[in-house]
Amino acid sequence: MTAPEARTRTDLLSLPPEEAEATLARHFATRDQPSYRTEQAVRWLYEGDAAGFGEMTNLPLAERAALEDAFVPPALPVARVDRSRDGTAKHLWRLHDNELIESVLIPAGRRLTLCISSQAGCAMACTFCATGWAGYRRQLTAGEITAQYRGARAWARSEGYPDISNIVFMGMGEPLVNRKAVIPALGILNHGFGVGARRITVSTVGIVPGILEMAEMPEQYRLAVSLHAPNHELRQTLIPVERKYPLPELMEALRAFERAGGKRITFEYVMIDQVNDHPELAEELARQVGEFNALVNLIPYNPIPGREWVSSSPPRLRAFAARLEEMGINVSVREPRGRDIAAACGQLRADAVEGRTAPVGV
């Protein structure tokens, strides 16, 4: 049975920062506390690492207890942490209903990128992605999204990593089919935690209404689009949602996004040997994205259980990249990170960790 307070407690990390502050101010006012208590709690929330109200050591014990009664703890319990040989670190977070999600910290020089999840599982069923294979569980709340940032930041600080410089919505799930939580979470990360909008990237499989909604936002959040194929026929074999939002519609939405101003688009293209890496596809891709001020990010395919595909060989990848460049396209190649702990792109499938979903057939 759920404790009654668990149903009524407010999750501060789900609220826009000004509302969280107002809520705390009301809470302390009803308890006849001085107004600076609000400031203290707000600092703990956005700047501090306390895993629970009990650790907010400059508040009186009675106030810590009262906060515990009124609010959801601002941290998710860690079910497991894995650290790769290359410094990449994967957190498995346990949600209040025992669902599991993952986030990944990826250090690169002085940069530290945090990759976060927007759903438990994913319903998109892209054929090359382990998250999709493991199935869909549920939407995350804004608080469950922002708590990944807050918790990963605390861990990174305690382990001597640099400050988190970038956040990418490239973990589990399709962020633009959870706009109800993702859009508020963007605001909380930006205005509450102070992460610059241009340092936050939403990666989408191509959900047209979501792209149009992002185009309308005043903040310059970045958009990455998982393209993976330059034509409808091939793309629909990799990404089922291509049938719902076919390429011409997707391109039209991206034009609207670009017209909205100053927002560079990244096209992600996973390189699967003999599947989507033929030289003539590079030319078709260049024609498809050439009209945008875009970057094509080639991602070597990370192996997932149950699929015999392999990554394009380095020469094949270089040839594909060179062809794009010859046609005037900006290209980068994503270095695979954290493969040894199944933390690389497409490898996240937290539910399988506890064997709750049937293992993907090998």
Which residues would be at the binding site for ligand SAH (CB under 6 A)?
128-129, 170, 174, 203-205, 226, 268, 270, 299, 301-302, 304, 345-346
User: C-beta of 333: minimal distance to ligand SAH in Å?
Assistant: 12
Length of the chain: 362
CA–CA distance from 214 to each of 118, 147, 208, 265 (Å)? Answer: 16, 22, 10, 12
Question: Between 164 and 172, whose beta carbon lies closer to ligand SAH?
Answer: 172
**What values do phi and psi take at 93, rounded to 5?**
-105, 140
Burial of 261 (0-12, 13-18, 19+ CB in 10 A): exposed
Half-sphere exposure of 51 (CA within 13 A, CB side): 8
User: C-beta of 182: minimal distance to ligand SAH in Å?
Assistant: 11
Q: Which helix (H) or strand (E) holds 251?
A: helix 247-259
Question: Between 33 and 103, whose beta carbon lies closer to ligand SAH?
Answer: 103
User: C-beta of 265: minimal distance to ligand SAH in Å?
Assistant: 12
> Residues near 127 by Cβ (< 8 Å), separated by ≥ 6?
237, 238, 239, 307
* Closest C-alpha among 190, 107, 108, 112 to residue 145: 190
Question: Between 112 and 115, whose beta carbon lies closer to ligand SAH?
Answer: 115
| Residue indicated by tokens 């493969």 | 339
Question: Between 33 and 266, whose beta carbon lies closer to ligand SAH?
Answer: 266
CA–CA distance from 73 to each of 3, 30, 65, 105 (Å)? Answer: 14, 20, 11, 22
User: C-beta of 158: minimal distance to ligand SAH in Å?
Assistant: 27
Q: Which residues are catalytic?
A: 102, 345
Question: In this chain, which residue has its C-beta nearest to ligand SAH?
Answer: 346
Question: Between 143 and 346, whose beta carbon lies closer to ligand SAH?
Answer: 346
- Between strands 222-226 and 200-204, the pairing is parallel
CA–CA distance from 199 to each of 28, 46, 79, 166, 346 (Å)? Answer: 34, 17, 28, 5, 21
For residue 86, the SS3 value is: coil
Half-sphere exposure of 219 (CA within 13 A, CB side): 20
User: C-beta of 117: minimal distance to ligand SAH in Å?
Assistant: 9
Give the Cα separation of 15 and 143 in Å (integer).
8
DSSP assignment of 145-171 equals HHHHHHHHHHHHHHTTPPPP-EEEE-S
For residue 92, the SS3 value is: strand
Question: Between 74 and 346, whose beta carbon lies closer to ligand SAH?
Answer: 346
Question: Between 17 and 346, whose beta carbon lies closer to ligand SAH?
Answer: 346
Give the Cα separation of 270 and 276 in Å (integer).
8
User: C-beta of 306: minimal distance to ligand SAH in Å?
Assistant: 11
